[in-house]
Every structure is written in structure tokens, then in C-alpha cells.
Amino acid sequence: MDRSHAGQQRADAATVDTDQLAHEMTERFRQVLSTRRMNELTSRAVQSRPASPAPRDFGTPQPPTAQHAPPSYSSLRNIPLEPQAPQDARSMRFKNMLHSLSNMPIRWENPGLLDEALRVVPLEQIYNEAEEESQILQAEAESLGAGKKAAWGYQDCVVRALMRWFKRSFFSWVNNPPCARCYSPTIGVGMAAPLPDEQARGANQVELYKCSLEQCGAFERYPRYNDAFVLLQTRRGRCGEWANCFSMLCRAVGSRVRWVWNSEDHVWTEVYSVHRKRWVHVDVCEESWDKPMLYTKGWGKKLAYCIAFSVDGAMDVTRRYVRDPAKHGLERNRTPEAVLLYIMNEIRAMRRTNMSKQDKFRLQGEDMREDKELCGYFISSIAHEMSKLSADDIVAGRVARRPDPDAQKALEGRTSGNSQWIRSRGEGGQNTPGQQDPRNQHPR
């Protein structure tokens, strides 16, 4: 909690009134958010917060052989499919895993805890920053001519400010936790059984590290907490913990939020922009806003599945992140595409069981619009490839490539995690080419 600045202001008699006003505004925001959440939740009859389930199979690396097989992308190619129920054991396993993953956003739906969560957030600072940014965007739009719309709306700016604060002042990244006794680096020595206290707070897995200093030799435990509200206290982790805690806070400030699971080794957030009427990619580990090509063009990764889960739906959003399946796709071999479609429908139907007809209809419309948006990415990717061929080259029989502006935009390497860890994952961007070796993949 960074209240020191506010505290200093309070000492200054001249600013007492504005400070008081800001405080009252913040309290009123809390009240409004709280009331809205209560209304939403009571009308939806959501069950009370369940205990943290085991994070089983949060992305088992694919067998390496799969990477060399020719990819099959019938779903990415926009061929209409008839949903088909899973039949074989492999499909059943995938279905169970997706159902289990889909519970993540449900665990945030606890109005009392969401209110409590906001107590650690410097709301005054965040709302001020958001106000300022949205005014700048508004002014920029107006300078471009009458009727021009600001790039982002106020609520988008709230999430952007929340993201900056979360990354810069709240959460920290953990590879190997440093020794608590002497602060020396530690070496991973495997897994340990959780202690009763760790288990009570929802950690089912505990990584064990040993101090690298011989005369110290102390052990350091790193429990993988899976509960967003516990993470408000521990305030550290890898992308799993970051995305979990941050997504919950997006929910707490009143945004619709998705938790996006990637089958390789990453998770991130999407928030719904009411202003733009679409879902926006947010990766808090990287302080990335609306850069869906970060993973493929930026980090040079190949991805098979990116599935988004929210409190009222589920969507295969791979096409948002993999624009060129031939180049950045991995084989989607966990189940036939028609079965994946069936599973998505099944999860959606489950989440919407208790909703009114109108709400179901509205969400269906939203799903259809998004499907259209995702198809559009595929079509524009083909058009883009075509445009890179120059007429002279076609005539001369040469297939030369022009520089790709999207690739330039996304050419930032990964910033979370230390450089060795980044290189081992091959995520350093263009300057540090590396191998995507499944053996080097960290648990999230």
C-alpha cells in the first residue's frame, strides 16, 4: 500500500479539503462497485467461493515429436463444424481439463472478498491516472476531427492504470526465491509436501530450493498458491500467480474479465472494452495492453491452443494470438476440432444455465461478433501475405518479402523473468534466438 504520498499531503493544511474530497470519492467508488457486484451476483445465484481445486495439468508440455508434424488447422481455416461429443479417452481427458480450468474465473466471484481486495489497491491514484489518460485520449481524438472516437474509454484506462501499478509497485517475479536467511541465490531441489498452513491457504504444490552458499545451506519453500485472495498477501509468483491475482483485481474494479489459458506454458488476461465493444488482450507480466501478437511475433513462440474462460462463457481465441498458423501454430492434436467446439458450447451452456433469456441472447450475439472478428484476423493475415509479393517479383518469378510492419511492432522480447530464464525458453525476441525446448519449460 503506497499511502506515503497521500499521508504527506494530509499534513499540508492547504490541501486538506481536496484530500478529504478524494477520500470521499474513493469511498463512493467502493460503494458503487460493491452495490453493483452484489446486484449482479444475487441475480445470478452464484455458489459460494469453493476451496481452491488442484491446478492439475496447467499445461503439460506437448511431446516434442508433435512439433514436427504438419499442422492441421481446420478450425482456424473457418470451416463450419458440427459440434461432436467426445468419444475417445484422450478427448475425455482434454474435456475434463478444460472444465476444470474454466473454474478459475468463478473463484473470483465473491463480493465480500472483491471489496476486501480493493483495500490493497491505491484507488485514488488509479482513478486519477485513468481520468488524466482518458482526457488526453479524448483530446487527441478531437484534434483529429469532429466525430472521432477516443482510442480507449475511461474504464479501459482504469485497467491500464491498474496494470501499471500491479507490475511496477505491487507484484514481484519469482524464478528461484532467494535464501531468506542470507539472501544468496538458491538451487531447485524438487517438490515438497505442503505444510498444513500452506495447504490451508490452497497450495497443493510446493517447490523446494536450497541456498547455494555452502556454509548456509538453508532450504527455501515456494508454495504455488492458486487462490487470488491469498496472492494479495504473498504478492509474488510467475505468470500463473500474476494473471490470477491481476484478473481478480480487474474484476474488483468492475471490468468483465477472462482468464486465458495457453496449452504451451502461459496464461494471461482479457478484459472487455465497452468502449471498443471487444475483448482486449492484457498481459500484466509484460505490462502489455492489446498486443495479441506479443507471443508469436514478439517472443517467437508457437502456440496450439489459447482458450478464454469467463464467468459467463468460454471461447477458443487462438486466432487472436496466432495470425499465421503455418508460421506460428502448433499441431492441435488433443481432440478433433468438432469436439473442442462441443466442449466450448458445453461450458458456455453451464455458465449460462441460470440466466434470463435476454442475457443468453445478448451473450450469443457477442460470441457471434467475436467469431466474426477472429475470422477477420485470418482473412487479413492472408491478404497481408499476398500484399507482400510485389508485382515485379511475381513477373520475374521471385518471391521476395517486404518488411513486415506487424513484426516490427511486436519485436519486443519478454521482460518478466531473468535473462537466462528467458533465453532458456527462447522468448528473448529477435535479438536472442533460442530453442523452444519443452524440457526447459517452467511450471506456470
- Closest to Zn ion by CB, 218 vs 411, is 218
Minimum CB–partner distance for residue 320 and Zn ion (Å): 44
Minimum CB–partner distance for residue 218 and Zn ion (Å): 5
Nearest CA-CA partner of 70 in 271, 439, 333, 334: 333
- Closest to Zn ion by CB, 66 vs 216, is 216
- Closest to Zn ion by CB, 181 vs 362, is 181
Cα separation of 32 and 27, whole Å? Answer: 9
Give the cell for residue 247: 484478473
Phi, psi of 6 (to 5 degrees): -65, -35
Total count of residues recorded for the chain = 444
- Closest to Zn ion by CB, 69 vs 182, is 182
Give the cell for residue 332: 492441435
Minimum CB–partner distance for residue 421 and Zn ion (Å): 21
Instruction: Note the residues at the interface with Zn ion (CB under 5 A).
Output: 179, 181-182, 184, 211, 213, 216, 218
Nearest CA-CA partner of 165 in 45, 61, 56, 250: 250
Cα separation of 155 and 282, whole Å? Answer: 14
HSE of 180, CA atoms in CB hemisphere, 13 A: 7
Cα separation of 356 and 337, whole Å? Answer: 30
- Closest to Zn ion by CB, 17 vs 214, is 214
Beta bridge partner(s), residue 260: 268, 308
Residue numbers annotated as active site:
239, 266, 283
Nearest CA-CA partner of 262 in 101, 389, 425, 34: 101
Amino acid letter for position 437: D
CA separation, residue 387 to residues 168, 319, 393, 395, 443 (Å): 40, 20, 12, 15, 40
Minimum CB–partner distance for residue 208 and Zn ion (Å): 14
- Closest to Zn ion by CB, 187 vs 396, is 187
- Closest to Zn ion by CB, 56 vs 181, is 181
- Closest to Zn ion by CB, 211 vs 271, is 211
Parallel, antiparallel or unpaired: strands 186-192 and 206-211: antiparallel
CA separation, residue 392 to residues 309, 313, 374, 385, 403 (Å): 47, 48, 32, 16, 16
Minimum CB–partner distance for residue 214 and Zn ion (Å): 10
Minimum CB–partner distance for residue 219 and Zn ion (Å): 9
Q: Where are the beta strands (DSSP E) in 299-387?
A: 306-310, 313-316
Minimum CB–partner distance for residue 182 and Zn ion (Å): 3
Minimum CB–partner distance for residue 212 and Zn ion (Å): 8
Cα separation of 32 and 431, whole Å? Answer: 47
Helix axes 4-11, 16-44, angle to 10 degrees: 140
